[in-house]
Structure 1
């Protein structure tokens, strides 16, 4: 994901200094000398983080950032100005128009850290939204698979053939699902591991314990009682994982662990095809 940073300040020397500072971090940097110029750029380009001066002629920084929020609500907005402007920024912070208030003159390393944190916040928000969209797509795909299952069973003859058809098609749907699925008993014994799960965790084996096959970070999260989180594999691909109880009636027999690839992975591996 390209990190695009918009810097808005009516002083050309400030724009130049910030451009030099952030260029070393690999950002795509856009510069605007006024709020109006900044809004024009936002109408043309998706921006992750916005840094704006507060005291500018024609439009203050908080006024500009309030309008910027309407154009790109996901962007992370930062005011960079003097201590004397803090009171005028407080209301904008409370209304959610401003993510953080940083002061001039700035300390280079601290400012770079804050902007890096702002991009991490932005990307987490975008990944969550993409994950929600991805889950909708996966649900639609599973619904379609269910319809195919029902169609496949129409021609089944007799109770035995019907049962065998259900089992065969269900196994194929589970095995080829575009998400990793692992089912394990309450004592940790693995009962089910589909194709994608086995590819992610080669040590998974039906009949053996799940803990030995999972990365320590996932084991720690699940052991703490948390049911979900994000995990990066050694190859850099990231996944959203979630553990849900497997129940029959009121009896809880074990857990189902699913791992869904984030959209960033699709660009690298073709997982969305």
Structure 2
């Protein structure tokens, strides 16, 4: 039996269906059918009648029915048998049985086999009959509505799964597109950076030609400065600025007289020495318009300051001197000692190191000297293991330059770390033939292709 606690459509805020419910009445007595129709007519239901179970089944085939009310006692096919057949063919239709007091066992069978929603005893109470029918139809509608909503949810879930799958593919495609864009931009940025550094090296070569420095000296000052910067755990940006300052440290020499820039420093008079060191101020002035070169120009400006405070142009001492300038001063003088720019003759490695160490705490920061000595020892062994000198006739495509390739006058031909192509090799050999010279070519052993 149905519980009287079943909520109404109004209680669950669902509107009743617009179409009138269809009720099938099945009874072999015409008077019973007439009485039921009289009770139901005021409610606006669509009422179908059948005087046998077989006739009721035929009507079910031809009409959409919401509720069946069947008498129990009928000839040929009982109400229980009829409702069982109706359940088998039309399980969604709600079924109500009319029965008498003497038919309890048959009623129980009908409830079990026919899936009866409710049964009413004869004679029925009209209010009880109408209330039972109303509740049965409401429950019928709720079942249909639940089935409709479940179907709608399943459909929406399927659409959502399809949408999510499509969206995921779009996201993956967009992500891949962005990844490719980032790689393209990174490659472009790296090319711009390499072109910029190559341009600086070319410019430093022009400075060296004008100032009488050995070819590649500024590049070696730059490399040594960067390695010392790493020893002091400077930021990547500061290390890059040190490298650029090394390449451009002699830019102010362009404006010096020829006889001065080609004269060893130990042979200069006091006035000449001051005039020479003033190139740092001129270099600073040249770079001032470049806002991004602010730190670089400061390193260059103070490169001739001394740790003891007796340097130029500001006479500052110790930690007052920018660390980049302290590093640049040592790297610059080490290369000058090795090239003969300070003394009349170039000094061998050990002698140059001794001179640097002897000026610790005087010209140079002791901590920079200490890092330099350790670094020279490390780098010396590494260079012997990783590079070798070759003649142009022994070059092969795929070899990697360990040092910049320059002419005897210091003009840059190919930058360090370039991987040689067959065209590069042909150009090198043609240049040697035209100039009647033999270039010094250093290649990285690990990069040689077999």
Partner of 1:68 in structure 2?
86
Q: Equivalents in 1 of 2:107, 2:34: separation in Å? A: 24
Secondary structure (helix, strand or coil) at the match of 1:58 reads: coil
Aligned alpha-carbon RMSD (Å)? 2.1
Q: Which moved more, 1:79-88 or 1:109-118?
A: 79-88
For the structure 1 residues 31 and 96, does the alpha-carbon distance in structure 2 shift closer, same or farther, using more than 3 Å as the test? closer
Q: Equivalents in 1 of 2:154, 2:59: separation in Å? A: 32
TM-score by length of 2: 0.34
Secondary structure (helix, strand or coil) at the match of 2:160 reads: helix
**Residues 84-112 of structure 1: per-residue CA shift (max 9 Å, x gap):** 11221112213352221101111111100
Secondary structure (helix, strand or coil) at the match of 2:75 reads: coil
Contact 2:25 2:49 in 1 (8 A): yes
Partner of 2:38 in structure 1?
20
Give the number of equivalent residue pairs. 162
**In the alignment, is residue 107 of structure 1 matched against residue 125 of structure 2?**
yes
For the structure 1 residues 39 and 96, does the alpha-carbon distance in structure 2 shift closer, same or farther, using more than 3 Å as the test? closer
**Residues 203-261 of structure 1: per-residue CA shift (max 9 Å, x gap):** xxxxxxxxxxxxxxxxxxxxxxxxxxxxxxxxxxxxxxxxxxxxxxxxxxxxxxxxxxx
Partner of 1:34 in structure 2?
52
The runs of at least 4 aligned residues of structure 1 exceeding 3 Å deviation read: none
Contact 1:42 1:71 in 2 (8 A): no
**Residues 45-71 of structure 1: per-residue CA shift (max 9 Å, x gap):** 221111001111111100100000011
Contiguous gaps of at least 5 residues in structure 1: 163-273
| Greater gyration radius | 2
TM-score by length of 1: 0.55
Secondary structure (helix, strand or coil) at the match of 1:24 reads: helix
Secondary structure (helix, strand or coil) at the match of 2:81 reads: helix
Q: Equivalents in 1 of 2:125, 2:165: separation in Å? A: 60
**In the alignment, is residue 125 of structure 1 matched against residue 140 of structure 2?**
no
Contact 2:80 2:113 in 1 (8 A): no
Q: Equivalents in 1 of 2:150, 2:138: separation in Å? A: 18
Q: Pick 1 or 2: higher relative contact order, CA cutoff 8 A, min separation 6.
A: 1
